Structure 1
Amino acid sequence: MTGNIDSVAKEIAADFAVLQRDIAHLTESLRKFLDHRAQTAGAQVSDAAEGVKEKIAEAAGDARKGAESAGEEIAASIGRNPLTAILIALGLGLFVGLISRSRG
């Protein structure tokens, strides 16, 4: 009977050793999987950030071109109608002066 208990104990110990190895392999596989997923997610975030950066640069370039075009149009308008430009500037100056005057 003691031999039977010893053999069962040895089988249980062997099963636990196999189970321990399986858990170690599973843990390592899970670590590798999570590392891979983290790298993939990092690459996706990096790609998305690069895309946003390119779109912002493109939008800034478009805005700069629009501002330059508007400035050129204003300069041309002033060149065509200098008296009107002077009267508009005078009116705006008076308006801003009246608004900013203290109410004392």
Structure 2
Amino acid sequence: MTKARIRTLIFASLIIGAIGGALIALGIMGSTFNQATHVMTHLANPPLFVSGICVAVVASILMGIAWIGSILNTVRLREWKWLLIILLVRGLGLLIYSFVGPEPQR
């Protein structure tokens, strides 16, 4: 997987994740909570909430594909420092790799 494709997946995941988060927040707005038990007793807009969850899951899948692709690239190139950066720093390491990491050979 090329770094450009990884970068595209990262940015698509971030944008789609933000949309999913907004849908979740809009679905929760106006819900009623029990103050004594801190439990939601009525969800204001369940279809909007569920669609936000589905959109967030799609964003997570895209980010996972980019993460696995970058791990496979670094292992194939035997770039162990980049592999550690991607594994330990996760999202930020993946973004840094997509801009300045080594390019896989064809």
Same structural fold, with TM-score higher than 0.5 when normalized by the shorter chain: no
TM normalised by structure 2 equals 0.32
Q: Which structure is larger by alpha-carbon Rg, 1 or 2?
A: 1
Higher relative contact order (CA 8 A, sep 6+): 2
More strand by share: 2
